[in-house]
Amino acid sequence: MDGSELKIIAMVCTYCTYTAADMAGSMRLQYPHNVRIVKLPCTGKVDTIHILKSFQAGADAILVGG
Amino acid sequence: MNTDTVKSTETKDEWAPDRNVGAVAVVGAGIAGMQSALDLAESGYRVYLLEKNTTIGGVMAQLDKTFPTNDCSTCMISPKLIEVAGNPNIEIITGASIEQFEGRPGDFTLGVLLSPRYVDESRCTACGECAKVCPVEISSTFNEDLSTRKAAYKHFPQAIPSAFAIEKKGTAPCKAACPAHISVQGYVALIRQGKIQEALNLIRRDNPLPAICGRVCTHPCEAACSRGDVDEAIAIKDLKRVAADYEFHSGAKVLPAMKESRKEKVAVVGSGPAGLSAAYYLALEGYGVTIFETLPAAGGMLRYGIPEYRLPRDILDYEIDFIREMGVEIRLNTPVEDHETLSGLQAGGYSAAFLATGAHKPLELNVEGEDLNGVYQGVDFLRRIGLGDNPPVGKRVAVIGGGNVAMDAVRSALRIGAREACIIYRRSEEEMPAYGEEIEEAREENVRFHLLTTPTKILGDPNGRVQSLELIRMELGEPDESGRRRPVPVAGSEYRMEVDTVITAIGQTVASGFDPAKAGLKTTRRATFAVDPITFQTSVPWIFAGGDMVSGPATVIEAVAAGKEAAVSIDRMIRGEDLRAGRERPVTIAYPEPASHAPHPRQRFTRIDAPERIHSFSEVQRALTLEQAKDEAGRCLSCGVCSECYQCVEACQANAIRHDMEPGIRKLNVGAVVLAGGYRPFEAERKPEYGYGRYPNVITSLEFERILSAAGPFAGHIRRLSDGKDPVRIAWIQCVGSRDSAGNQDYCSSVCCMYATKQAIIAKEHDSRIQPTIFFMDIRAHGKGFDRYYERAKTDHGIRYTRSMISRVTENPVTHDLYIHYLDEQGAFQDETFDLVILSVGLRPHPETADTARKLGVRLNAWGFAEEQPFDLVATSREGVYCCGVLQSPKDIPETVAQASSAAAKVQELLWKSRGSLIDSMDYPEERDVLGEEPRIGVFVCHCGINIAGIVDVKELAEYAKSLPHVEVSSDTLFACSTDSQSTMREVIRQHNLNRVVVTSCSPRTHEPLFQDNLQKAGLNKYLFEMANIRDQCSWVHQQHPKEATEKAKDLLRMSVARASLLEPLHEIPFEVTRKGLVVGGGVSGMTAALSLADQGFETTLVEKNDMLGGEAAKLFFTARNDDTAAYVRDLDRRIREHPKVTLLTGAEIVESKGHVGKFTTTVRKDGGLHTVEHGATIIATGGSEYAPQEYLFGRHPAVLTQRDFHGMMAAGDKRIKLLKSVAMIQCVGSREPEHPYCSRICCTQAVTNALKLKEINPNSDVYILYRDIRTFGMNELYYKKARQKGVRFIRYDPTRKPEVADRGNELTVTVFDQNMHTELELPVQAVILSAAIRPRPESKPLASTLKLPMDADGFFLEAHVKLRPLEFSNAGHFLCGLAHSPKFLEESVAQAKGAASRAATILSKERMFAGGQVAVVDRERCVLCMTCARTCPFGVPKVADDGFIHIDAAECRGCGNCASACPRKLIQVQHMKDDQTIAKETGIYPLDDLIRELQHFMGGTR
């Protein structure tokens, strides 16, 4: 397992990490394609229930960025 | 929270007989301009934000971090940029500079010169494809020239407008010099990139004969080439040949795209370069073209005038065939030899004719013997060879003439049998019109040159054959009309030369087969055809002419140009358009910046050796190799910046590139102007002693700022420029271009001490090995929180500060290490080695400012800053024009932002009556009620040109969408954001009765508002929209994995659809704004804020605790400028009392305040009674007070006073002042102490002001100022300088050895250890004046508690954000200014007060505000009041309401959701971000089918 088949959910703050992800795009920085970004108003909005439900639904890892 | 600004209800006539325009021009769009624009736009004005650059953001966008919080500058400014871009009342106009200005305050007209961007902002999607293909690389000004960028560029990823631009400086000299105006720089650039076919295609846009011209062109481009000034011109002709031969040899001939064929036919007479060129461009336009040629083969002079060893026939045939293959018919042996045939063409169905029959008739020599056998005319001679009928030549051939025909004839003669050949020319070699190359090659082939010689006679033998020539020598006389010196025969110098063949080649003239007059065609006196020089139209409208028959014998490229221009005219004539329109464009020639370019030798082609080549007609010159060509192309200096290669036009799917944009003037009608011109750093090369520009490792602070930036040239890696090594020993040199009389830079730049400190700290964060040293004179840490920052830099970060005088920087030329030679604190000379030296360059007004100011009639001071007006920093010398930011004086970001608001307040005081008169209000159709409906989702998949579609299979994605639950309809579109796609979307919403919309495209950060607006236009609630970012987060970042990217895009889409189906419409609840202000504190700040609001038309209550107004300022009388403070304060007092819109409550205090932004109810106690004040915004201006010192015998000796008391004595004319023989002033009394670790900012200047006043009253008095650092920042430095000049003595003491004051009865003795002289001084003085600190007022604390406002560690009020929100509290609707915020000067308080009023006006200007939307909602009934939410909320919004339940005010909630996550009972939900909606998106990552399949597999496995 090299990690490329893992499904990763990134729960990110709309102000910082989401903006950074956009910037990575405009700078064409390449990164693994197995991450799915979910925009939250603030990382303070990340709730235990979100994490548990995500794992339950098949996510392998969760990244919180804020 | 959303807000809307309603149109003003005031009728203009009632208030203003004059027209007041509700629009404002803000000039300069840095942080100052942006803040002014936002304030004004939010308060109901139309704002034109004018910016010279292609992006807004100014210097702040270039900074890495900011002091004293080390916040990322970009992270702070980006949201501001988006806010400006998204404000419907702000129009950003880039490339703008002011040309004209007239009118009166309230009604100005501006003429704005618009420099073209060459990209249509409204179409550009900022995908960057244009930059990708752009071949021109230039240094990036945004990165301070430390990296490169393309000519098609965007300064930084977050730049606003979010569109690329193309930089053009003008036409490159090569293109301008080329008669056909080929984009030379363009194809050279393409060749450099190895894009050979593209280069060839570009050449063919302007020249259909590249292979021919790559060989025989006279290349005037090379003569004009700027590279020639460095070493040698670019080998442009040779590069053209490389491009053309590439196609010829590869066989990959691609005909250009031709337009749809037209029924009209055009006749071309003559198949030389002019005729071929006209035929080519007419064929491109779709015309049927027939070329009529007299001779048996096509090509004209190309075939019959140029020998094959220069122009091989296969090459010639290739290019002629190319044109034939485009559908051009060439009828050979078909002369158009009389005027009847010519006019017959019209009858034959030709709509137009182009005559290009050349100039073939040789000029006669007019000497005896010209008719002898063996005498040929040069052109006839060459023609016969061309026809394969070699004329017989003898052994000895003489050719008369010095042009190319002469060279061609003499060299051809050698190839058909002559043994000896010579040239006879009557002038010197310098005047020879033949090409240098041909002369050189002729010499190689042993052709002899008889210069300054002319034949007088050709002598024959009895058989009539040539035998000899009689020649005479010439000498050069006066210049003739051609500018060349006229050859004059030397009498008696005749001699004879034996020859067998004579060829005369002294020129040709026009000979057409018919009489021009009969055809009605006019000729010139040179017998050439007369045409219009622009259109090439003859005197007969349907007939055009060009080439040698018009110009006389000229070059191939001129003929090509004529043919091309004639084709344009013919096309226009046939279409019935104006032949001349737009064709006489003035050309601005661009020359490269005088940068140093290392010499790089020109690549040279090789030739077949002369002995070998003279035996055949094989091509003499060999082409450059591809490698040579690329190297040669790399020598180009890119004069015009954009090379006009048009690669971007092809790459741009959005069709946004507009190379034909032209500058224009736009008129703007505005009521006022805010000048925010900003600054540029001081030019470090003006201080040669520091070696900037000579030593690679000496850089400026702004360069270092870019180096620190993660988005900078080295991606945030600190490295030396000389060798890329990691520097360890880094020095900062302060005051470069500041506090420096030598360079007329006397003022202090205010910010350098702090930014150097910040850079040192950040550098250490980047690399802990770094050892920073800051060389300084005085550390000026005079702003809020700055001194703490400075102290931490020393103690926590180990930054070394060295007080010193630097003499110079030198370099070790081998290692490029730097030596700093300086005088240390002890007065000893030191040498120290560093890896990197950073010059802390000062701030200078932007160079454009002076020009703009002159056009606006605004006076500037000697340093180029706006001339200061008394007590009003933002006023200029012209009413109606206001200034802010560094244009006013050097300052940091918070002051800039505060001043920007202040300038906005001045505008509003002027234009308050026209508030709301020019802003747009949007009318949407009524929203459809979707409650209870099943979700009906429409999915729109955007290609974004190739940005998404190039990687992600968008068709498959759109198809996939249809398989998802609730999706009614799905489609894909080239650009979802384009106007037509938007209208289609509305149509689809209506047709399919959709109640949810999902767009998969780019970032919601930039595009969500656009789509939401479209939903509203379609009658859907905007919260029923969801977006999947499949560009920035998918196609752009997984370019190598298209398959996986498509799968990911499906996941992202599925996640969005899952969330969309759970979205609910939300309605923001409007409430009426109480359009009244409340100001707390009646000092200068409070009075100013109250008056500003009242002057803007808002009723305002001013509450003051004391019975008197004026606060601290009531004890001030004059300023450093000698303005009358007392009179100013008296006037404010009077105006407050007289203003009909101000309610003054003195002796009053705030008891309680309830409500929320826009609607507060505050209770005030006065005279024992309670008053209720209704208001929409609150401004806190409770001021500060002077510290009552405990030290230095204050209060124990009558001659120990505070600065303010001393100031008052002098103002009152106290007689004792005259008796003072000597006075000591002690600085930092109560400031910069461990218990109060802040600088009181004003004391140094106040001491200097008072010292100067004392010197004025009593010139004989001695004044000693005992200081730690002199902090006379900004323009105050000038008073410090003046005080030194007046003999005030400055003695620096160390805080560990403070001065001591001893009571000696009538006198006092001050003992101080002078740090500069290293000696203890004992000063007998009559008075000791203490610069006592400024403290917050003790009353502020209970007020903060009543209003729930935050305070900082020093007891001053704490603003929402120290950089960008300096005048407001995080509690919405509350603002602050003056000493309540931090110590500051009176005029700074005034500026802040107005700024706070402007911020408050953004609320009070609205009739209605809206609460709700994406906010937290609590289930009150089930809440148990655990208060977790109240503790969690970063903004302190949840409160227990009067009814005992928890209340989260919708107007104050920011929707961050921290409370929702924290609530132990899960009773809080953030609307639009509800848990089920978010979880649906998060869990949508896994398709249900897969999950079931996997579960089944799992079950099966265990069974």
> What digits encode the pLDDT tens for the residues B1150-1200?
999 988 999 999 999 999 999 999 999 999 999 999 999 999 999 999 999
How many CB atoms neighbour CB B1051 within 10 A? 20
What pLDDT sits at residue B483?
77
- What pLDDT shows up at residue B180? 96
Q: What is the dihedral of CA B447, B453, B456, B459, to 10 degrees?
A: -30
For B847, phi then psi, to 5°, come to -55, -25
pLDDT tops 50 at residue B1503: no
Q: Is the Cβ pair A53, B1483 closer than 8 Å?
A: yes
The reply to whether residue A41 touches residue B1003, judged by beta carbons under 8 angstroms, is no
Task: Tell me whether B1482 touches chain A (CB under 8 Å).
Answer: yes
Q: Do A53 and B1432 touch (CB under 8 A)?
A: no
Average pLDDT over residues B1468-1488: 85
pLDDT value at B14 more than 80: no
Identify which of A33, A50, A58 has the shortest CB distance to residue B1479: A50
CA distance B1225 to B1207: 12
Q: Do B75 and A19 touch (CB under 8 A)?
A: yes
Q: Distance, in angstroms, between A3 CA and closest chain B CA?
A: 14
Q: Considering Cα of B1490, then B1493, then B1498, then B1499, what sign does the dihedral take?
A: positive
Q: B1039 and A42 in contact by Cβ < 8 A?
A: no
Quick check: A20 pLDDT over 50?
yes
For residue A38, give how far its alpha carbon lies from the nearest alpha carbon of chain B (Å): 7
Q: How many CB pairs under 8 A join A and B?
A: 133
B10 pLDDT more than 80: no
> Which pLDDT score, from 0 to 100, does residue B1494 have?
61
> How distant is the Cα of B967 from the closest Cα of chain A, in angstroms?
21
pLDDT of residue B1: 41
- Cβ atoms of B919 and B948 closer than 8 Å: no
Identify from A42, A46, A52 which residue to disrupt to test chain B contact, counting B C-beta atoms within 10 A and taking the largest count: A42
| Partner A contacted by B426 (CB < 8 A) | no
pLDDT in tens, B126-150: 899 999 999 999 999 999 999 999 9
Residues in chain B: 1503
Residue B1159, strand partner residues: B1156
User: Residue B596 — very low, low, confident or very high, per pLDDT cuts 50/70/90?
Assistant: confident
Given a cut of 90, whether residue B1022 has pLDDT beyond it is yes
Q: Do B126 and A26 touch (CB under 8 A)?
A: yes
Mutation target among B1044, B1468, B1478 for the A interface, most CBs of A within 10 A: B1478
Chain A residue numbers touching B1460 (CB-CB < 8 A): 45, 47
> Does position B1375 have pLDDT exceeding 80, yes or no?
yes
- Beta-carbon separation of B1041 and A16 below 8 A: no
In terms of phi and psi (left: phi > 0; alpha: psi -120 to 50; beta: otherwise), the region of B693 is left
Whether B1482 and A30 lie within 8 Å, measured CB to CB: no
Max alpha carbon distance in chain A (Å)? 34
Which chain B residues touch A39 with a CB distance below 8 Å? 1004
State the best of B1062, B1475, B1482, B1486 to mutate against chain A, taking most chain A CBs within 10 Å: B1482
Tell me the percentage of chain B whose pLDDT exceeds 90. 82
* pTM reported for the whole predicted model: 0.88
Backbone Cα Rg of chain A = 12
Main-chain dihedrals φ then ψ at residue B1470, nearest 5 degrees: -85, 125
Please state the rounded mean pLDDT for residues B838-859.
95
Answer yes or no: do A25 and B1432 touch at CB < 8 A: no
Residues 35-64 on A with a CB inside 8 Å of B are 36-42, 44-47, 49-50, 53-54, 56-59
- Scanning every residue of chain A, which has its alpha carbon at the shortest distance from the alpha carbon of B1492? A57
B952 touches chain A (CB under 8 A): no
Task: Output the average pLDDT for chain B.
Answer: 93
Residues 1393-1422 (B) with a CB less than 8 A from some CB of A:
1414
**What is the arithmetic mean of pLDDT over B806-826?**
95
The residue length of chain A stands at: 66
Report residue B583: phi and psi, to 5°.
-100, -10
Structure token digits, residue B186: 């363009």
Nearest to B1387 by CA among B1091, B1180, B1121: B1121
Q: How confident is the model at residue B74 (pLDDT cuts 50, 70, 90)?
A: confident
Stretch among B193-197, B228-232, B946-950 having the lowest mean pLDDT: B946-950
B767-785: burial string, b at 16+ Cβ within 10 Å, e else = eeebbbbbbbbbbbbbbbb
Q: Is the pLDDT of residue B192 over 50?
A: yes
- Closest-CA distance, A17 to chain B, in angstroms, reads 10
Q: How far apart are CA B1311 and CA B607, in angstroms?
A: 91
**Which tokens in the block code for residue B1483?**
């869990």
Instruction: Write out chain B residues lying below 8 Å of A45, CB-based.
Output: 1456-1458, 1460-1461, 1470, 1473, 1478
The answer to whether the CB atoms of B1458 and A54 lie below 8 A apart is no
Structure confidence by residue, pLDDT tens digits, B744-779: 899 999 999 999 999 999 999 999 999 999 999 999
- Which residue in chain A is spatially nearest to B1415 when comparing CA positions? A41
C-alpha distances in angstroms, B20 versus B16, B121, B420, B1001? 7, 31, 90, 44
| Cα separation values, B503 from B372, B373, B393, B458, B614, Å | 11, 11, 10, 11, 18
Q: Residues of B653-680 as b/e, b for ≥16 C-beta within 10 angstroms?
A: bbebbbeebeeeeeebbbbbbbbbbbbb
B1032 interfacial to chain A (CB closer than 8 Å): yes
- At B1493 the pLDDT is 62
Query: CB–CB of B1485 and A59 under 8 A?
Result: yes
B1048 vs A contacts (CB less than 8 Å): 33-34, 36
The pLDDT of residue B1488: 58
How far is it, in rounded angstroms, from Cα B1255 to Cα B1239?
26
End-to-end CA distance of chain A: 28
Contact between chains at A25 and B1055 (C-beta distance less than 8 A): no
pLDDT per residue as tens digits for the range A22-62: 888 887 889 999 999 999 999 999 999 899 989 988 899 99
User: Under a CB-based contact definition with an 8 Å cutoff, are residues B517 and B412 in contact?
Assistant: no
Q: Which of A7, A27, A37 faces B157 most closely, judged by CB atoms?
A: A27
Residue B409: name the closest of B378, B384, B433 by CA: B378
Q: Does A21 touch chain B (CB under 8 A)?
A: yes
Selecting from A7, A24, A33 the residue whose C-beta is nearest the C-beta of B1045 gives: A33
- State yes or no: pLDDT of B1011 exceeds 80: yes
Hey, are the CB atoms on B1458 and A44 less than 8 Å from each other? yes
Half-sphere exposure of B771 (CA within 13 A, CB side): 7
Each residue's pLDDT tens digit, B371-387: 999 999 999 999 999 99
Q: Judge: A30–B1045 Cβ closer than 8 Å, yes or no.
A: no
Pull the structure tokens for residue B513.
């087969």
Hey, is the C-beta of B711 within 8 angstroms of any chain A C-beta?
yes
Asked if residue B1280 lies in contact with residue B1289, where contact means CB atoms within 8 angstroms, the answer is no
Give chain A positions within 8 Å (CB) of B79. Answer: 15
Any chain B CB within 8 A of the CB of A27? yes
Among A25, A42, A54, whose Cβ lies nearest the Cβ of B1031? A25
pLDDT at position B584: 82
Q: Is the peptide bond before B161 cis (omega within 30 degrees of 0)?
A: yes
**Are A28 and B1483 in contact (CB < 8 Å)?**
no
Whether A23 and chain B come into contact, CB under 8 Å, resolves to yes
B334 by Cβ neighbours in 10 Å (0-12 / 13-18 / 19+) ranks as middle
CA distances from B519 to B271, B342, B355, B514, B529 (A): 21, 8, 12, 8, 12
Residue B897, pLDDT above cutoff 90: yes
Please answer yes or no on whether B1045 and A9 come within 8 Å at the CB atom: no
pLDDT in tens, B16-42: 445 799 999 999 999 999 999 999 999
The nearest CA of chain A is from the CA of B240 a distance in Å of: 35
Chain B neighbors of A28, CB-CB under 8 A: 1036-1037, 1039
